[in-house]
Amino acid sequence: MNLFDSQMKKFIKDLQVGQQVDTYYKLQAVEKRLKKDGTFFLALELMDKTGKIPAKVWDSAEASLKILKPGNMYRLKGYVNEYMNKKEIKVDGIRPASTADKDFDAGDFEEKSNFDTGALFNQLIETVKSNLTRPYYLQLVDGFVAAYSEKFKSHYGAQKIHHAYLGGLLEHTYSMVKLAVFIAEHYSLDKELLLIGTLFHDVGKIFEFSITPVPQATMQGGLVGHIVLGNGIFLELKNKIQGFPEELSIKIQHLIISHHGEKEFGSPEVPMIPEAYALHVIDLLDSRIKIMEEAIKNAETGGIFSDYINALSRRLYVEKGEKEGKG
Ligand SMILES: [Fe+2]
Ligand SMILES: [Fe+2]
């Protein structure tokens, strides 16, 4: 019998430990790793529209590696295992999907956002604009909407660590804008400056990495990075506005370039005005809480602690009842 005779279509979110799988997945990443005996195995990351799952190819790794290219679709046969409290697929057979596959449905891999990105983008812009009075700031936001709304709406917040999904950059920025309004009022900061800095702080990510066919750094992303790219986007839009005060332009640039907080985290300068420091802390808070939420949501059965999370330098306590209750 052919290894790939009849498809047993199973979406990733529904996979259970002990199940056989024989279906199509999109390959997100492949890595060659060393076994104890000196030979290699392959660690894969697979996805469909419902989620992601790791997979391992233990046998004939070299031959499989030749046909595996991230971004492509594969028909995969295997078995769902549990490793370190997480589900993964042990692969018995893998081959590229082909046009002859009648049961292949490209719609199974179209990533959809969990929310209406158009509506959320409008909310973001409305919130920012309703807090602005200076005409050149309003013009700047209009310029941003005209030039970058489409890209900004659909981009990921990061390639991997947090908000790594369609609309993630938008969700992260909107969450920060709401915090920025509150914090600026609480500490009597320059709210307009903080809001413009928040809106632009990660905009460079739209050029830092591409999301199709898989998230990966672009040449300018790898060589220049989103901080400098974002500063460039701000300057390009600002230069179209007559009479934009130079001092405020420099402060906005300072907010953008210092938002990672420390030079060793990629910022050319540390925050030197309260609004810049506030932006850095709001960014850190929003990204870290999101990493925690995602880790708790993705924690598997067995054990009350998550895996070690490098970005947070700790494991997290996972409250089982809470997690199950929330679904
Ligand atoms: Fe950033
Ligand atoms: Fe950010």
Label each residue of 175-211 as H, E or C. Answer: HHHHHHHHHHHHCCCCHHHHHHHHHHCCCCHHHHEEC
Query: Which is higher by pLDDT, 6 or 169?
Result: 169
User: Looking at the CA of 284, which ligand is closest?
Assistant: 2
For residue 303, pLDDT beyond 80: no
For residue 2, pLDDT beyond 70: no
From the CA of 202, how far away is ligand 1's center (Å)?
Answer: 5
From the CA of 173, how far away is ligand 2's center (Å)?
Answer: 7
56-64 long-range contacts, CB within 8 A, separation 24+: 56/88, 56/89, 56/90, 56/91, 57/91, 57/94, 58/90, 58/91, 61/32, 64/91, 64/94
From the CA of 122, how far away is ligand 2's center (Å)?
Answer: 19
Mean pLDDT for 10-22 is: 88
Could you tell me what percent of the chain has a pLDDT over 70? 94
User: Looking at the CA of 174, which ligand is closest?
Assistant: 2
For residue 28, pLDDT beyond 90: no
Residues with CB under 5 A from ligand 1 (ion): 202
Work out the mean pLDDT of the chain and round it to a whole number. 90
Mean pLDDT for 208-233 is: 92
Q: What domains appear along the chain, each with residue ranges and CATH number? A: 12-109 (2.40.50.140), 117-290 (1.10.3210)
Query: Which is higher by pLDDT, 73 or 299?
Result: 73
From the CA of 127, how far away is ligand 1's center (Å)?
Answer: 21
For residue 232, pLDDT beyond 70: yes
Question: What is the tens place of the pLDDT at every residue in 69-93?
Answer: 888 899 999 999 988 778 899 999 9
* Cα atoms in the Cβ-side hemisphere of radius 13 Å centred on 268: 12
Mean pLDDT for 8-34 is: 88
Highest mean pLDDT, choosing among 227-236, 301-310, 311-320: 227-236
Task: Tell me what pLDDT residue 50 has.
Answer: 85
From the CA of 19, how far away is ligand 2's center (Å)?
Answer: 39
The model scores a pTM over 0.85: no
From the CA of 297, how far away is ligand 1's center (Å)?
Answer: 24
Question: What is the tens place of the pLDDT at every residue in 152-207?
Answer: 999 999 988 888 888 999 999 999 999 999 999 999 999 999 999 999 999 999 99
For residue 323, pLDDT beyond 50: no
Mean pLDDT for 220-239 is: 98
Q: Which residues pair with 54 in a beta bridge?
A: 45
In sequence order, the 6+-apart residues with CB closer than 8 A to the CB of 315 are 305, 306, 307, 308, 309
